[in-house]
Amino acid sequence: MMAKIVECVPNFSEGQNKEVIDAIAQAIASVEGCSLLDVDPGVSTNRTVYTFVGSPESVVEGALNGARMAMQLIDMRKHHGEHKRLGALDVCPFIPVQGVTMEDCANCAKIFGQRAAVELGIPVYLYGYASEQDHRKTVPQIRAGEYEGLSEKIKKPEWKPDYGPAEFLPFWGATIAGARKFLIAYNINILGTKEQAHRLALNIRTQGRGPDQPGRLTEVQGMGWYLDEANMAQVSLNLLDFHQTSVHTAFEECVKDAKELKVGVCGSQIVGLVPLEAMLMAADYYVEKENLFILSEDQKIRLVIERLGLSSISPFDPKTRIIEYLIETCEDGPLVSMPLRQFIYSLGSRSSAPGGGSASAAIAAMGVALATMVGWLSYGNKKFEALDAQMRNLIPPLRQAMLDFIPMVDADTSAFSAFMDAKKLPKNTPEEQEIRDKAMQDGLKASVYIPLNVIKTATKVWNPMVELAKVGNINSKSDLQVGARSLETAVWGAFYNVKINLKDITDDIFSKQVLEEVETSLETAQEKCKEILNILEERNS
């Protein structure tokens, strides 16, 4: 089963005292099951953003442990900074990452609030998906008046905390806990004043200058401030839903307005972590805008770092700033993670798994990888310059198929293992027999779907391979010949794996449809492979 992973991003009102910052970090990291991913202090804001992940239970405990330490070390009566705040632990959001729903995260916020109120005696407000009150749904609504106005605000019935005492605690203030989508804290650097930065923020943030003058972008909060340590101002934005307003959209809109003000923009800064998807969305934007040809993920990330100037204040290291790279939610399976020698030994061992299905997927990946290589060797070379536009069309589907085949190597073995597990189920009663029979049929169908997917994926790339054979780098002729033969062999292997599993499936309609599909695809594979080989055999240049 997929592990349940929740992200927690508490913001504590201390960004200058390293001892306090480190003590809170250690308190969070000491909780079993909590992985502290990032600690991002801000001197001018006097605020530190901590990012950690774990199970729902562990992240709640981690947040509470951080709050316990903050209670000993932070005194809000002495706190001053550029960032708005309500308390020592100002805001504590829980965000779904893997295997959990937004409702699960809202429950984390409620459990945290209940325990913080009882164990620490602090007032806690709920926000976002954890709140059911429209007038106090967002952080700005709850934080209005800030710490300085809380002593009077908390006495009002409509501002009674969801948990804890309805009284002002001078040393602490109040805490806001909730559940939300992934928020990207994003700052754009300008060589101007705090007032100019704030003017730019007013232009683009959702609420704008008020109900009669809304901003241009949706799901965006923003303000301007000045960074003394960097000697520049920042347009500080919270992108509440990066699918509604992306990082690159916010940056480009700010650049456009800054030009009108004759103010220089010198890069930007992501505070904390960023989802990989947000970075790739920005990459796709610049690739299309500048008509670039970039396919590899690491090069796309490099492009975004450069175009957005993400290393302008401190180096942006993708390995430590992109959340998927840190938590590795999409690890490769055990077979494709093996050295090639070990994979071959596994195939040759006294075990039926891995078997022909995994081998077929691996052969398919290698076959189309060779075709991809020929595409690259025909692109960006002065000798083949006339082919660049054509290669831009041919390489992407070949490379994508190569990537798609890789997880099928492990998927085939996993499907077979599930079928074997089903065979071991008890069958002592009619009910047990029925459950076992269904599990076995499901396992057989899963064992059909993987090689069927190998065949379908191969079918998508025969035409690009034919076109590549006509014009590709003639010096790589043999590589494409091997690639075509390998892909045809992989289709044959997948075909045999489909057939052997179909014979035991009791769903005749399903079996008939699948068999017709794979037989047609096999004919296509034979015809296209022959066509590619004939084209290459006749080419001399």
Q: In this predicted model, what pLDDT tens digit does every residue of 184-231 receive, in sequence order? A: 999 999 999 999 999 999 999 999 999 999 999 999 999 999 988 889
Helices vs. strands in the chain: H and E counts, helices first: 17, 11
pLDDT band for 330, please (50, 70, 90 cuts).
Answer: very low
Residue written as tokens 């920042």? 234
Rounded CA-CA distance 540/267 in Å is 51
Token pair, residue 189, equals: 């650097």
Burial class for 150, CB neighbours closer than 10 Å (0-12, 13-18, 19+): buried
pLDDT band for 328, please (50, 70, 90 cuts).
Answer: low
| In the predicted structure, residue 417 carries a pLDDT above the cut 90 | no
Instruction: Over range 455-478, report the average pLDDT.
Output: 95
Instruction: Over range 67-83, report the average pLDDT.
Output: 95
Rounded CA-CA distance 236/238 in Å is 7
Look at 329 and 62; give whichever has higher pLDDT. Answer: 62
Average pLDDT, the chain: 93
pLDDT band for 332, please (50, 70, 90 cuts).
Answer: low
Backbone angles phi, psi at 10, to 5 degrees: -70, 140
Residue 173 β-bridge partners: 87
| In the predicted structure, residue 1 carries a pLDDT above the cut 60 | no
Burial class for 210, CB neighbours closer than 10 Å (0-12, 13-18, 19+): exposed
Token pair, residue 217, equals: 């972008």
Q: In this predicted model, what pLDDT tens digit does every residue of 302-311 receive, in sequence order? A: 999 999 999 9
Please list, in sequence order, all residues whose beta carbon lies within 8 angstroms of the beta carbon of residue 256, skipping any fewer than 6 positions away: none
* Single-letter code of the amino acid located at 127: Y
What does DSSP say about strands 5-8 and 47-54: parallel, antiparallel, or unpaired? antiparallel
Which of 199, 209, 206 minimizes the C-alpha distance to 233? 199
Rounded CA-CA distance 482/368 in Å is 10
pLDDT band for 457, please (50, 70, 90 cuts).
Answer: very high
Residue pair 8/53 in contact by the 8 Å Cβ criterion: yes
Residue written as tokens 């590709």? 472
Rounded CA-CA distance 70/89 in Å is 7
Give the catalytic positions in this structure.
83, 412
pLDDT of residue 69: 97
pLDDT band for 122, please (50, 70, 90 cuts).
Answer: very high
Token pair, residue 58, equals: 């562990």
DSSP 437: H
pTM over the 0.95 mark: no
| In the predicted structure, residue 486 carries a pLDDT above the cut 50 | yes
Q: In this predicted model, what pLDDT tens digit does every residue of 237-278 receive, in sequence order? A: 999 999 999 999 999 999 999 999 999 999 999 988 898 999
How many other CB atoms sit within 10 Å of the CB of residue 518? 23
Token pair, residue 310, equals: 């993400």
The CA–CA distances, whole Å, from 236 to 110, 172, 254, 335, 458 equal 29, 25, 11, 45, 48
**275: helix, coil or strand?**
coil
pLDDT of residue 67: 98
Instruction: Give percent of the chain above pLDDT 70.
Output: 99
Which of 138, 95, 250 minimizes the C-alpha distance to 186? 250
Rounded CA-CA distance 306/322 in Å is 16
Residue 264 β-bridge partners: 191
Residue pair 128/354 in contact by the 8 Å Cβ criterion: no
E strands in 395-519: none
* Single-letter code of the amino acid located at 335: L
Backbone angles phi, psi at 97, to 5 degrees: -115, -50
Please list, in sequence order, all residues whose beta carbon lies within 8 angstroms of the beta carbon of residue 398, skipping any fewer than 6 positions away: 368, 371, 372, 375, 461, 464, 465, 468
Rounded CA-CA distance 473/140 in Å is 60
Q: In this predicted model, what pLDDT tens digit does every residue of 140-175 receive, in sequence order? A: 999 999 999 999 999 999 999 999 999 999 999 999
pLDDT of residue 222: 95
* Single-letter code of the amino acid located at 329: T
